Structure 1
Amino acid sequence: MQEADLIAAGLPIFLQACQECHNALYMALETTDYDCIRRVAHRIRGSARTYGYEALGQLATIVEDGLREPSTIYDLSEAKCLLSELDRTLRQNETL
């Protein structure tokens, strides 16, 4: 099986993960759960790039890196952008 075929076969699983991450990130932003926000960003960052969602992967990297130090006061604007990008990714793939 070619690499492109493997990626195409995994896309539905990736999109399910995006939906789960979207839901978790939404709740984490509501409760300001920094640890959960970092875990969501970590989960999505590598796979997003694998499936060609560079902006999503880049935002996830920025969010995760920003939350590496637990004592740091973190501006949630990047995490809100990540939520928006997850939403956009899901809407873009609604027909799949």
Structure 2
Amino acid sequence: MTIRAGAPMPDSLRHFMRAKHHPARAVPCPHCGAHAHRPCQLRTRNQLLIQPHPQRISAWAQLTACCPECQVEPTTPCHDEGRARTTVHARRYQEAEETAA
């Protein structure tokens, strides 16, 4: 019996095929330390969470979308009149979700 190895799946298709999961799972979680494509977990009980932590969603939005409010490129943190923000603007979340859809 021969085993046929198919062509490797491109990352863009791999993310599309994981439609049941939140697209933020594509990045590591800065809160709990979960690796990319793994679910977030509670640090005290090692319980897996269904939804990613808000910090992970913020990191994902920062990596994937431009911010229409403060006009920064992907990977650049949002700011308010020169002051760095700890989270991204709400419009950047919307932009990232539209990009992922």
Per the TM superposition, whether the score is higher than 0.5 is no
Q: Using CA pairs below 8 Å that are at least 6 residues apart, which structure has the higher relative contact order?
A: 1
Structure 1 length-normalised TM: 0.32
Structure 2 length-normalised TM: 0.31
Q: When you count helix as a share of all residues, which structure comes out higher? A: 1
Larger Rg: 2
